[in-house]
Structures are given as C-alpha cells and as structure tokens.
C-alpha cells in the first residue's frame, strides 16, 4: 500500500514540475510550438498517471481507498485538462482551463452562493422532498388497495413521459418566475421513480416471512412496518439517489425558461450568451459538486439504515 501511494505522490510531483514549462503556462511566443521534448514529457507523465491509478485501484482495504482512487483519477483529469488546453491554445470560449474556472469561482463566490440558495436550497430540496414523499405515499396506497393500481399507476406513468421542455414554461405561467415553479417541475420529475421503486421494494420481502406474519395474525400496518418497509429500503434509497440528480437537472433546465435574477440555470444561460465561459463553468462545477455530495450523503444514510442488506454489506 505504501509503495502504491508513494508512486502516486511521486507521479503528481513530476506532473507538477511539467506545469512550469513555458508551454504549460501559455508563455510561448507567437508562432512557437511546445517542442518535442514537452510532448515526450507529457506522454511520460500520462504513463505515470495511468500506472498510479491502476496501482491505487488494486489496493485492498477500507472503502476510503476507493475514494482515494477516484480523487486521484479526478486530479489527473483536471491536470491534463489544464496542460493540454493551455499548451494547445484552445480558445477560452470553447473550453477554459481549470485555473480560470477556479479564479472565477473565487471572484464570483457571492453570486454563485446566491444561485446555489435559489436553485438547490429552495427549488431542488423542496421539490425533491415533496416529489419523493408523494411517490412513496401513493405507492403505499396502491399496495394497500390493489384496485388503485389500475387507475393511479397509468396516470402516474404519464408524469414520466411529459417532456421537461414542455412542462417548464407551463409551470412558470402557473407558479410564477420564482423558485416554486422550478420546485413544481422537480416534483413532477421525482414522483414516478419513487413510486415505481417503492412498489418494487414492498414486493421484495420473502414469501415465507409474509406467511409467518400472517400466521401470527399481524395487521397490514404491523407487517408493513416490521417486514415490508425494511425490505424495501434499498429500493427506496435507490430512488432517492436517482431523484437527487434528476431534481438538480430539472431545476437547472427549468430556469432556462423563466427565472428571476438568480439561479444556476439562469447564470449558465445568461453568462453563456455573454461568452463569459469561466463563470458558466463555475456554475457547472457548483452543480456537479452539489450532486456528487448529495449522492454521497444518501449513500451514507443507506449504509446506516439498510446495513443488513447484502448490497450494503458488500461495500
């Protein structure tokens, strides 16, 4: 383990040294090319990067090693993004280098924080909670009264087929330009995945266990709470994780069709029209990091709630 980590660290140090080359810093004179030596060194660093990730991924141990492998891979992606974009003089309108994006994040942190509050803490969080809660409640109602499945389930499936670009303008007309219209879109997007997953989870408990509860004259409520809901937890958390990403995408896209002067979708749309791509990418980074953190938090909750399930014990 120590050798693999030292190899990864040494590879990163060697890569950092290459960043001081004039070609990697954008300091070449007009018309000059990076030169063969630079590309040979870049190829060598690329080989070291691949080997460092392979060695780290092969380590056995705690799940934190998996996180370290993912972080190392991400560092190398950002590294070569910076190196190649600057060395090849890619126009910033097409793809700005990571250092400009980080600089824009720091410069516009207050604006991006306001966008985060508007999009994530209001539209996404509230819409995700309401949509997932409604899907769960309707699933339990259908399970309790099977005749509802013939009426409610086909209607519910319609919510997953409605195009987002069609419902977003309608939501703006109904609920206004503020965050409630975006939360309504999120509710529509997250309702059906939770409904379907919960119904599948409620049927996942074993037949012998259900017959045992029946032989003890357990009520539907007792069977639901003691047996069927615990068995459904992996399915429910699966829907919650999927809905977390769907909610973020839905809220951002909905802001393209009408928004106040704040929001990640509003920022991306507005700044892209101004060709301010570093700020556009800064908003994208905020959205991506938020989605990844939300997924990670839900995974941790799942490990504590459904610790007994084989899919969780295996991690």
Q: What is the pLDDT of residues 20-53, one digit of tens each?
A: 777 777 766 666 677 788 888 888 988 888 888 8
Token pair for 231: 């068995």
pTM (global) more than 0.85 = no
pLDDT over 90 at 212, yes or no: no
Beta carbons within 8 Å of 286's beta carbon, 6+ residues apart: 105, 112, 115, 116, 264
The more confidently predicted of residues 79 and 16 is 79
**pLDDT given for residue 177 in this prediction:** 77
Q: Single out the residue of 284, 182, 153, 302 nearest to residue 242, CA to CA.
A: 302
**pLDDT given for residue 62 in this prediction:** 66
Q: Considering the chain, what is the average pLDDT of its residues? A: 82
The more confidently predicted of residues 280 and 225 is 280
The residue to which tokens 């691949």 are assigned:
50
Alpha-carbon distance of 261 to 239, in angstroms, equals: 32
**pLDDT given for residue 116 in this prediction:** 92
**pLDDT given for residue 287 in this prediction:** 92
Mean pLDDT along residues 120-148? 87
Mean pLDDT along residues 227-242? 87
The more confidently predicted of residues 180 and 314 is 180
Q: What is the pLDDT of residues 113-133, one digit of tens each?
A: 998 998 899 899 999 999 999
């Amino acid at each position: 383990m120590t050798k693999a980590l030292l190899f990864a660290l040494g590879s990163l140090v060697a890569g950092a040294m290459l960043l001081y080359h004039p070609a990697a810093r954008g300091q070449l004179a007009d018309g000059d090319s990076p030169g063969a030596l630079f590309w040979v060194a870049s190829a060598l660093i690329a080989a070291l990067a691949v080997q460092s990730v392979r060695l780290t991924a092969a380590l056995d141990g705690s799940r934190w090693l998996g996180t370290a492998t993912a972080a190392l891979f991400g560092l190398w992606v950002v590294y070569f993004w910076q190196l190649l974009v600057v060395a090849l003089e890619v126009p910033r309108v097409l793809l700005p280098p990571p250092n400009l994006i980080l600089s824009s994040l720091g410069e516009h942190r207050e604006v991006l924080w306001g966008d985060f509050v508007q999009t994530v803490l209001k539209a996404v969080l509230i819409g995700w909670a309401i949509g997932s809660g409604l899907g769960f409640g309707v699933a339990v109602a259908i399970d309790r009264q099977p005749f509802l499945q013939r009426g409610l389930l086909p209607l519910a499936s319609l919510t997953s087929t409605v195009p987002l670009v069609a419902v977003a303008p309608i939501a703006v007309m109904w609920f206004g330009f503020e965050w409630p219209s975006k939360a309504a879109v999120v509710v529509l997007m997250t309702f059906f995945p939770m409904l379907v997953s919960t119904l599948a989870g409620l049927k996942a408990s074993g037949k012998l266990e259900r017959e045992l509860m029946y032989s003890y004259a357990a009520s539907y409520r007792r069977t639901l709470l003691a047996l069927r809901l615990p068995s459904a937890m992996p399915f429910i958390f699966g829907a919650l994780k999927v809905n977390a990403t769907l909610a973020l995408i839905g809220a951002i896209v909905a802001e393209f069709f009408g928004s106040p002067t704040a929001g990640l979708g509003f920022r991306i749309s507005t700044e892209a029209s101004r060709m301010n791509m570093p700020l556009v990418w800064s908003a994208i980074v905020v959205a991506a990091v938020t989605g990844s953190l939300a997924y990670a938090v839900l995974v941790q909750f799942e490990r504590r709630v459904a610790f007994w399930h084989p899919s969780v014990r295996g991690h």
